[in-house]
Structure 1
């Protein structure tokens, strides 16, 4: 028997097939081969067609089943991970009313800032555990203000994973974890925030019914079976945003444990059991996948929008063949990149910078000394510096790192990036051979076997290596301090 896991990203759709009993990964397929387009009709906007995601879900599923020669009748569960903070709006027939406004769209920054000024600080601190910021609630308010004709036709608001789950099951639903990532949830009252909905003028009726993160969320419909090549009736057993799911994939469930990713954006996600957040303007607090009212397990998340996208931009403009080539070039240069500093903030407003959008920049470029290799190393270091800048905020919140884990993909495939992060934090980083799609598939096991069996599979099968801090790391520490001083000077102007 097998489970399927899906990772609905903004760059691609990944589909993973695993053995249901052992958790062993059979294969992973990515669709499309090139990255999906992000439409930006205005500066700071970022949109995608939700049906584009579903189209690639169908294509990817068909190709994976054919490649693995698996009997589709042996697939006994589906799990979904998805890009967070998106906004999908559908009509009474379930069709999208407009493109999805995705995670890196910054059109609602002003709305979120005004909400933070108007709502009581204690309410945000102890009820929302966040400010509304540039998240889904503020994006929905933007549609209400700027596209009233579309808003009037809304039957349901959804997050990206809710939409794909609905396409599979023909049933519209959401989760508590999803509602917290949209900043709709009142942790103190344990329900949708009536106060926030009243402030934004959003009616409760457009919110889908809530289902558990783990367990029966519906079954594959006849239409979805025809489009994906699956069998009708397969249960959907799990759904979570990509960062809570990444933490799950890395067996991160307890306070002091940190999961890191370095993809298009870079994220540090740590677990807390404290229902209060001081830095509500710069970090986010969500219900983790194992959250329950009687045992709060919260994910504290910081995100750098401009991370891997900065490295991709450099690759495209340097016209090199691969990221491996860039990583090899970066490895030729000493830590600190001979004074070259790169700031990767070129992908929308950055929450850790109080929703400012300073853009990407290069400082101290010496045309007589610095080479392509310097640019590669300084870019990796700049992304690591920005992530460490955010981790410093978490530490000020009381974080005491006990375990740090990351997946063996994207930026963490670079020895320079992984070692730079390790030296900056001063703590070992365990690198695991897992992905969001694999984690989403394995999460189906929790429904059947529980968390202990799941954790055993991750810990015994996936550890690739452990990166440990170097004794001599003064150059990178000095470079980070200089980088941070320049950034603070810029954003405090």
Structure 2
């Protein structure tokens, strides 16, 4: 018996097949092999065509089936995870009305800020746990004002994973977790926010039926059975946004547990059991995968847009002579802690929530042509990302998070010794690295959704810890000195 996980990212689509009883990865693949295109028609915009996600899902799926050699009839459940906060619009025939406005698009910031003021800051925070900000609801408000001919054709709004589930099954649904990440969910009234939809003028008919995060949400249609080779009727039994799902992938379900990722964007995500929020909405609070009206489980999310994308930019524009990210990490490790006084502010990927939706751009401070080399710049970039994490984690601490252990997958920037040691040392937290990723987590969760696993402990009993990084306490003052210099430069900008 096998379980299938689909991870719809902004860089690629990953597919993973696991054997249910052992949790062993049988095969995985991703598409495209180069980063997926993000279209920016205007500054601050970011769009992708959802049909491209589907195309790349099919390519990666086909590769996984071929690699595994299994019969698709033996796949008993499908889980889906996706890049959060996107907006997909379809008409009554389930046809796309426009490209998806994705997570790093900042055009809706003024709409969210105005709604925050006019609905009332205290009301937004106490009911939504966030400012409407630059999230899905505000993106829809932008469409209503700027593309009324499209708005008038809308039958349903979706998040990226809902769209993929629709392509698989022909059915449209949305979870409480999905509604909360779009800032459509009222936590006090346990329903779609009347304040948001009335303020923005969003018809309630736009929303699909609410479905559980775990459970039989839909089944593979005859059409998709033919297209993907899956058995008709295979259940889709789990879906969640990438950050709640990444936390799930690391067996982070309970209050006080912390997960982190460092891909294109970077995240620290911790679990609370009470309705808490940052009064400035610099970190955001959403429903976690196991949240119910009866048992509060919230994910406090710190998101830094300018994370792996800065490292990628460095590779493609500065370190072009180096063969790999591993080569870059090796060169960065030759530079001392603090990068010889060099500081990089990494916020070059649109408006940053942690800076109250300011768009400061990326900047380099303190460069000296006589002492700094390529390795210093590469280290300063990684340290700058780490320092942006610590800046946000201090906000999380202020609302009750106790950050002592950070769990992460052994992937992306956590492969860098400089990055992970700097993060452990400046935060004074132990980092635990695990052999997992979002697609693997989605596959395990699909098993929970069909009841194959009794609970999360059984589902993640085979999760393998592969490394522990302790803070360098003897060098902590050097890290804190570099962080202090970095914050000084940041404060001069903001």
Query: TM-score, normalized by length of structure 1?
Result: 0.98
* Alignment check: 8 A CA contact 1:4 1:441 kept: yes
Is 1:4–2:7 an aligned residue pair?
no
Is 1:490–2:493 an aligned residue pair?
yes
Matched ranges for 1:60-459 at <5 A: 60-317=60-317, 318-319=319-320, 320-449=322-451, 453-456=455-458, 458=460
Deviation string 1:393-430 (CA, Å, 9 cap, x unpaired) is 10111211243201100000001100100001112111
Higher mean alpha-carbon deviation, 366-375 vs 400-409, is at 400-409
Q: 1:21 maps to what in 2?
A: 21
Is 1:477–2:480 an aligned residue pair?
yes
Shift of 1:448: 4.4
Q: In 1, distance between residues paired with 2:455 and 2:330?
A: 39
Q: In 1, distance between residues paired with 2:396 and 2:180?
A: 19
Q: In 2, distance between residues paired with 1:120 and 1:225?
A: 48
* Alignment check: 8 A CA contact 1:61 1:229 kept: no
Give SS of 2:215's match: coil
Q: In 1, distance between residues paired with 2:280 and 2:443?
A: 32
Q: In 1, distance between residues paired with 2:414 and 2:114?
A: 37
Give SS of 1:232's match: coil
Q: 2:31 maps to what in 1?
A: 31
* Alignment check: 8 A CA contact 1:59 1:228 kept: no
Q: In 1, distance between residues paired with 2:452 and 2:398?
A: 34
Shift of 1:13: 0.2
Deviation string 1:48-93 (CA, Å, 9 cap, x unpaired) is 0000001111111111101111111100000000000000000111
Q: In 2, distance between residues paired with 1:448 and 1:97?
A: 33
* Alignment check: 8 A CA contact 2:285 2:300 kept: yes
Give SS of 1:28's match: strand
Q: Calculate the aligned-residue CA RMSD, in Å.
A: 1.2
Shift of 1:121: 2.3
Give SS of 1:98's match: coil
Structure 2 runs not aligned, ≥5 long: none
Structure 1 runs not aligned, ≥5 long: none
Shift of 1:122: 2.3
Shift of 1:279: 3.0
CA 1:476 to 1:298, structure 2 compared with 1: closer, same or farther past 3 Å? Answer: same
Give SS of 1:431's match: strand
Q: In 2, distance between residues paired with 1:459 and 1:480?
A: 37
Give SS of 2:210's match: coil
CA 1:234 to 1:448, structure 2 compared with 1: closer, same or farther past 3 Å? Answer: closer
Shift of 1:26: 1.3
* Alignment check: 8 A CA contact 2:104 2:305 kept: yes
Give SS of 2:391's match: helix
Give SS of 2:279's match: coil
Give SS of 1:373's match: helix
Higher mean alpha-carbon deviation, 112-121 vs 74-83, is at 112-121
Q: 1:58 maps to what in 2?
A: 58
CA 1:440 to 1:242, structure 2 compared with 1: closer, same or farther past 3 Å? Answer: same
* Alignment check: 8 A CA contact 1:304 1:387 kept: yes
Give SS of 1:4's match: strand
Shift of 1:151: 0.4
* Alignment check: 8 A CA contact 2:280 2:356 kept: no
* Alignment check: 8 A CA contact 1:78 1:237 kept: yes
Shift of 1:179: 0.2
Q: In 1, distance between residues paired with 2:303 and 2:23?
A: 29
Q: In 2, distance between residues paired with 1:331 and 1:215?
A: 46
* Alignment check: 8 A CA contact 1:124 1:280 kept: no
Query: TM-score, normalized by length of structure 2?
Result: 0.98
Q: In 1, distance between residues paired with 2:399 and 2:313?
A: 33
* Alignment check: 8 A CA contact 2:216 2:450 kept: no
* Alignment check: 8 A CA contact 1:173 1:209 kept: yes
* Alignment check: 8 A CA contact 2:365 2:489 kept: no
Shift of 1:451: 7.0
Q: In 2, distance between residues paired with 1:456 and 1:333?
A: 44
Q: In 2, distance between residues paired with 1:451 and 1:381?
A: 40
* Alignment check: 8 A CA contact 2:272 2:299 kept: yes
* Alignment check: 8 A CA contact 1:87 1:157 kept: yes
Shift of 1:471: 2.0
Deviation string 1:271-313 (CA, Å, 9 cap, x unpaired) is 0011131334211111100001111000010100011000000
How many residues get paired? 491
Task: State the 4+ residue runs in structure 1 displaced beyond 6 angstroms.
Answer: none
